[in-house]
Amino acid sequence: MSKLSERIKLFNAGLLPDMVNLKYEAMAENAFRYYRGTCHLFYEDLASTEKFPASPQTWICGDLHLENYGSYKADNKLVYFDLNDFDESILGPALWEVARMVTSICIAFGELDIEPEKAENMAKLFVKTYAATLCKGKATSIDPRTAKGIVCDFLTAAAQNGYTVVLKKRTDKKNKKVVLSLVDERHFKIKKHLKLVLMDHIQQWIDQSSDSPYNYKVKDAVFRLAGTGSIGQKRYLFLLKSTNTKNHYLLVDMKQSRASSLSSYVKAKQPEWTSDAERIIAVQQRMQNVSASLLSATIFHDEPYVIQELQPVKDTIKFKLIRDQYRDIYQVIDDTAALTASAQLRSGGMNGSATIDELKAFGSDTVWQQKLLDYCFEYCKKVKEDYGQFVHDLQGGTFD
């Protein structure tokens, strides 16, 4: 067994065994999907290098890549485009976040057969816009009113998608009742006893939590598969029916929370969270302009979970569809860079993170920019080599 495979198997040892195989299959799809599933390797390697530039401590989502920006419906019922995955969130070096994203640009664009020169230009654009936004010292946000170009089209379309769309995809009718679909390849049946206990737990959350929706009853539950890095964690989807409005339903996601894979490598003192679910929610609320709908933490069978509404409008930019539209890609990268800097500015000064003035000063320092790019371009090559080794080991039965 290669050293690489040992590292991957060790990290995934605590996940659901029958789901880990699905995670490995997903990671084998291409180098970008492999990169998404190996966040822990990225930071293990980054923490051991001396070539990487220093940066102020900020709140970071931890696993920033092209598909961790997207649209979502917020508590105020408006649709936003922003960072949307905080499972790995932590107080750490600001540039660790940027490096994770810049490397993802190089890898993803390579998989899309976009010329290396264009990929490098986009990586440089991201760093330039990120630094420029820090220099301004003022966080920005993107909604349908402020979006430009393809992001505006994307958000406008997302805002028009209603519950009928998501319900049609996720549910079936059985004996004249609406139930969660088991035909959907992302849905799995739950054993009867566990299902009843889970449904009772969510009903108690509805009845007792101030973060829950009012006047709803739990009607069904399934195990849910989603993402890449999080495959193997316990995750459930619930169907809720309104007791006030006829034929109105909500879909609620409950996802197991694990410790951040960065926690072994960051040196900054972290707050004493009561659970990892609390950590995820607290950092998400600090970094996003407006929080996602029904965001809440819970403890089920002594394990922490994050609850939130399954977003009928949550989606990511499909780069495959715009791979030949250079101006559209330029706009998306420019927007994501501004949002990344804005999330750090918005949470500046909280629990030991750098203040806005410190971040402004860092943004105006150009010395670190080329060093960061050089590291990312070189690490991109390593990821592709590691991906080849992973596929070889997987086909050889190492992960059976």
Write out pLDDT tens, residues 243-276: 998 888 999 999 999 999 999 999 999 999 999 9
Whether 253 is in a domain gets the answer yes
Residues 16 and 146 in one domain: yes
- Rounded CA-CA distance 157/195 in Å is 35
In this structure, are 14 and 154 located in the same domain?
A: yes
* Domain edge (last residue) among 309, 339, 372: 309
In 181-330, beta strands by DSSP E? 187-188, 216-224, 235-242, 249-256, 296-300, 303-309
The mean per-residue pLDDT over the stretch 301-310 comes to: 95
Distance CA 114, CA 156 (A): 27
Flag whether pLDDT at 400 surpasses 90: no
Same domain, 193 and 87: no
CA of residue 366 relative to chain centroid, distance: 29
Q: Containing domain of residue 53, as a range?
A: 3-160+323-395
Give the separation between CA 133 and CA 145, rounded to whole angstroms. Answer: 20
Domain count, the chain: 2
Report, in this order, helix, strand and coil percent for the chain, each rounded to 5: 50, 20, 35
Give yes or no: residues 68 and 210 share one domain: no
Please tell me whether residues 118 and 32 are part of one structural domain.
Answer: yes
Q: Both 181 and 285 in a single domain?
A: yes
H/E stretch holding 27 reads helix 17-27
How much is the pTM?
0.93
The rounded distance, in Å, linking the Cα atoms of 344 and 359 is 8
Same domain as 140, residue 167: no
Separation between Cα atoms, residue 239 and residue 296, nearest integer Å? 17
Quote the percentage of the chain above a pLDDT of 90.
Answer: 74
Rounded to whole angstroms, the Cα distance separating 33 from 37 reads 6
Q: What is the pLDDT of residue 312?
A: 55
317 assigned to some structural domain: no
At 128, list the tokens: 């330039």
CB neighbour class for 300 (10 Å; exposed up to 12, middle 13-18, buried from 19): middle
Give me the mean pLDDT over the 283-306 stretch. Answer: 95
What is the per-residue pLDDT across 131-183, written as a single tens digit (0 to 9) for each?
999 999 999 999 888 888 878 877 877 766 656 777 888 899 888 899 999 98
> 58-79 b/e with 16+ CB inside 10 Å = b?
bbbbbbbbbbbbbbbbbeeeeb
Both 351 and 270 in a single domain? no
Task: Indicate the residue among 309, 339, 366 that finishes a domain.
Answer: 309
Residue 49 lies in a domain: yes
Our CA dihedral for 334, 111, 398, 263, rounded to 10 degrees, sits at: -10
Residues 328 and 346 reside in one and the same domain:
yes
For residue 368, tell me if it sits in a domain: yes
Of 143, 119, 161, which is closest to residue 32 (Cα–Cα)?
Answer: 119
Residues 273 and 329 in one domain: no
Task: Give pLDDT, residue 313.
Answer: 47
Q: What CA–CA distance (Å, rounded) separates 65 from 72?
A: 17
**Cα(335)–Cα(340) distance, integer angstroms:** 9
Report d(CA 335, CA 141) in Å as an integer. 9
Which residue, of 281, 309, 337, is where some domain finishes?
Answer: 309
Co-location of 208 and 295 in the same domain: yes
Q: Which of 115-124, 279-288, 296-305, 310-319 shows the lowest per-residue confidence on average (mean pLDDT)?
A: 310-319
Does the residue 40 lie in any domain?
A: yes
